[in-house]
Amino acid sequence: MYVVATPLGNLRDISMRAQDILRAVDVIAAEDTRHSQRLLDAYGIRTRLAALHQHNEQRAAEQLVEWLAAGKHVALISDAGTPAVSDPGAKAVARVRLAGYPVVPLPGPCAAVAALSVSGFAEGGFRFVGFLSPKSGARRAALAALVGDRDALVFYEAPHRVVESVADMLLVFGAERQILVAREMTKMHEEIVRMPLGETTAWFAADSNRERGEFVLIVEGAPELEEMGVEVERVLGLLLAELPVKTAARLAADITGAPRNALYARALALKGSA
């Protein structure tokens, strides 16, 4: 089975090898057959399409194994980008591997990597988080667990949740932390901006069109903690012994002048190791 990356939006981003494979296989498993048919039509590819989406993935995976057992060659694609990365396909890949058949990747477009390449955040490394919980409480808890991470954090988000998700990032990470918002990449209305989280509320409010499309959000990693010094750590520790994490970090920042985000991340780490 071939796992084939397809364009994020601009149809010219498909590779020559991907075209060759999609023509050569016996069947293409696609997230949305109607959507994928437009891509195939653009390149004169007449291969049969079969649906594989989040609601039928288990059943479709068994069908893939049956086709492979019959000697057929299969390709897996998603609506856009690289399949099985915060998209349907991971279960199918696992099932095919379990059945003993090889799975061959065809590299190509990936929204997370495309956004990272223009963020300037990924010099050290990055952590791919994908989609956060649609529930605010769970979303904030997941973000709080990442607040001290030194790597750039990569999120996917849907248009109907992007404003509230970014608002939670502002609440958890603080106003100074930088974010890259990449919207509708490679499409007609592509927009990629980088700003402090503290500016995001006004940015989204300035134009309702900014809430449309598919989003990649990249938050820069946590600031260095080593620069805070022994005295700052002592003050934070004393406050943390008597106060909640958020309050202790805020007061420590007011007293010492150290960055609040760094103090909050350090306070969480100290609490976790206690």
Same domain? 254 vs 171: no
Q: Which of 109, 135, 167 lies at the terminal end of a domain, its last residue?
A: 109
Please indicate whether residue 202 or residue 222 has the higher confidence score (pLDDT). 202
Domain end residue (candidates: 109, 143, 174)? 109
Final residue of a structural domain among 182, 204, 219: 219
**Does 205 share its domain with 233?**
no
Nearest to 185 by CA among 157, 156, 215, 155: 215
Co-location of 145 and 83 in the same domain = no
Q: Does residue 231 share a domain with residue 193?
A: no
The pLDDT of residue 273 is above 70: no
Tell me: do 203 and 118 sit in the same domain. Answer: yes
Q: With residue 127 as reference, give the H or E element that holds it.
A: strand 126-131
Residue 218 sits at the vertex; the CA angle it makes with 81 and 261, to the nearest 5 degrees, is 160
How many whole angstroms separate alpha carbon 18 and alpha carbon 3? Answer: 9
Same domain, 212 and 116: yes
One-character DSSP codes across 71-83: T--EEEE-SSBST
pLDDT score at 4: 98
More confident: 39 or 87: 39
In this predicted model, what pLDDT tens digit does every residue of 178-200 receive, in sequence order?
999 999 999 999 999 999 999 99
* Confidence check: pLDDT of 227 > 60: no
Higher pLDDT, 139 or 259: 139
Q: Supply the CATH number for residue 86's domain.
A: 3.40.1010.10
Answer for the pair 223, 196: CB distance below 8 angstroms, yes or no.
no
d(CA 177, CA 184): 23
Instruction: Note the pTM of the prediction, 2 decimals.
Output: 0.83
Residues 83 and 120 in one domain: no
Regarding whether 262 and 192 lie in a shared domain, the answer is: no
**Does residue 25 contact residue 73 with C-beta atoms inside 8 Å?**
yes
Counted domains in the chain: 3
Q: How confident is the model at residue 256 (pLDDT cuts 50, 70, 90)?
A: confident
| Predicted local confidence at residue 263, as pLDDT | 83
Tell me the C-alpha to C-alpha distance, in Å, between residue 211 and each of 118, 135, 182, 194.
20, 18, 11, 16
- Secondary structure element (H or E) that encloses residue 233, with its range: helix 229-240
User: 55 is in which domain, residue-wise?
Assistant: 2-109
CATH number at 150 reads 3.30.950.10
